[in-house]
Amino acid sequence: MALQQRLLLILGTSFTLLWLLVAAWLLRDLNQELARTLDQRLAASARMVSGLVAQYPADTWQKELTRSNPFTKDLGVVCQIRSEDSDLILQTHRQLPPWLSEQEEGFSEHLIEGERWRVYTQRTNGLYISTADRLADRHLLSKGIFLASIVPFLVALFGSLIALWLGVRRVLRPLVELRHALSQRRPDSLAPVQIRNAPAELKPVIENLNLLLERVEETIAREQRFTSDAAHELRTPLTAIKTHLQLANRTNDNANKVFLDDAEAAAVRLQRILEQLLTLARVESSYQWGQEEAISIEQLLILAQADLADTERIVTAVPSNAALVQIAVPAELAALALKNLLDNALRHSNTTTEVSVNVTVNHGKGTATFVVKDQGQELTPEKLSHITQRFWRNSQANGSGLGLAIVDAVAQRFGGSLTLSLSESGGLVAALELATMP
């Protein structure tokens, strides 16, 4: 789970539980306060009636009651006055049940017409004055207060969650910028990471990351210097060995001539392997090849065939605008990649067969594809899967096993691709796709 999602889950759950606990606490206190307020209203009504009753003489209550409202279920607060003998004296509505059969004082609850009522009874001057209201009305009022309170609560809760989401996104924005900066970097880029307005907690991470990149850059630079120095040091004795072998081969001693020829061929092969290893190391490192330079398709084909033997076997098919389309790859590397493909096709096919080069340009995609097809030794799908691995060679081949690895490295570094497949005759079909200049 991502850090942002984890923070939102933990904080959102905590906020929601906290708001729910506070809401339950407030609603409980509100219901208790509402019940106390309504009870106080009943008590105040009873005291008010008691004050009115005290203004009339006692014989007034012995008269027959002639005016009363009928009892209905739409009553609000009702009132009833009885004597100490439980005789009815006055009531606000007819057919009210006798609440004072036990002449209880204070608050109590009674069942009237199937509904429960809250009753308050007060004794004043020998009279029992009772006021009552329905508990259903209290529950309805409590429900209305609950509904009126829950809407602002829900708005505040969801508003807090939205504010929390926005706040977490804003706080974690430097991490998103850091991830974006790292994902957009080239694989060979070791430049320091720069994040604007980075928080204090993230600055040590960026500083240590930049220190790591600096140490990696120094290590790669040392390895490059070592590779260059080693290649230079090995070139000198190899050149000397090759020269001496050539001089010794000019003698007339036929017995040694075969061995000298083999030794010279081995020295040439070793020199070629060292050159290819050095080239592969430079391609995969941060070595600058002059990316601003470009080469046309026509010039690229000429340069790639310059040092090859049996170039008369190469048959090319190029578009009409081959001289105008520029390859967005340094000329040296583009020529090296295509040269390796052609050399591989020439060396692994019969000397009497042709090697075809078909060039197509996709202007919409901005690429040029060089398809090199030979009629060489039959390959199997298993061998095809290993053909770009370093030092892998077919059992019948005598190459260094680095040519196609260099082609693949060049294609990957400059946003191209190398696709290998088998032709119908079992030969190799290599499609090198390179980017073109806009």
In contact, 295 and 335? CB cutoff 8 Å:
yes
Residue type, 26: L
Per-residue confidence (pLDDT) for residue 229, from 0 to 100: 63
Sign of CA dihedral 336, 432, 417, 387: negative
Q: Which residue has the tokens 């004043």?
A: 124
| Residue range 86-113: mean pLDDT, rounded | 69
Q: How far apart are CA 225 and CA 217, in angstroms?
A: 12
pTM of the full structure: 0.46
* 91 to 49, 68, 137: CA distances (angstroms): 11, 7, 20
Is a pLDDT exceeding 70 seen at residue 388? yes
Picking from 10-14, 100-104, 182-186, 229-233, which range would have the lowest pLDDT averaged per residue?
Answer: 100-104
**222: its two tokens:** 């040392």
The Cβ of residue 150 has, within 10 Å, a number of other Cβ atoms equal to: 13
Per-residue confidence (pLDDT) for residue 371, from 0 to 100: 92
Per-residue confidence (pLDDT) for residue 401, from 0 to 100: 67
Q: How far apart are CA 85 and CA 88, in angstroms?
A: 9
State the fold for domain 203-284: Helix Hairpins (1.10.287)
- The answer to whether 3-160 and 295-435 have equal CATH topology is no
Interior/surface letters 105-143, b for 16+ CB within 10 angstroms, e for the rest: eeeeebebeeeebbbbbbeeeebbbbbbbbeebbeeebe
When the candidates are 3.30.450.20, 2.40.50.100, 3.50.50.60, 3.30.450.40, the CATH number that belongs to 3-160 is 3.30.450.20
Mean pLDDT score of the chain: 77
Give, for 219, the enclosing helix (H) or strand (E).
Answer: helix 203-248
Is a pLDDT exceeding 50 seen at residue 68? no
Per-residue confidence (pLDDT) for residue 66, from 0 to 100: 43
Compute the C-alpha angle 218/219/225, nearest 5°: 90
What is 295-435's CATH number?
3.30.565.10
pLDDT digits (tens, 9 = 90+) for 252-293: 666 566 666 767 777 777 777 777 777 776 666 655 555 556
Backbone torsions φ then ψ of 38, nearest 5 degrees: -65, -40
Per-residue confidence (pLDDT) for residue 433, from 0 to 100: 92
In contact, 333 and 383? CB cutoff 8 Å:
no
Q: Quick one: CA torsion of 173, 179, 181, 184, rounded to 10 degrees?
A: -140
pLDDT digits (tens, 9 = 90+) for 31-58: 888 888 888 888 888 888 887 777 766 6
Which residue would you say has higher pLDDT here, 73 or 196? 196
Domain ranges across the chain = 3-160, 203-284, 295-435
**109: its two tokens:** 């609850």
Compute the C-alpha angle 381/387/392, nearest 5°: 125
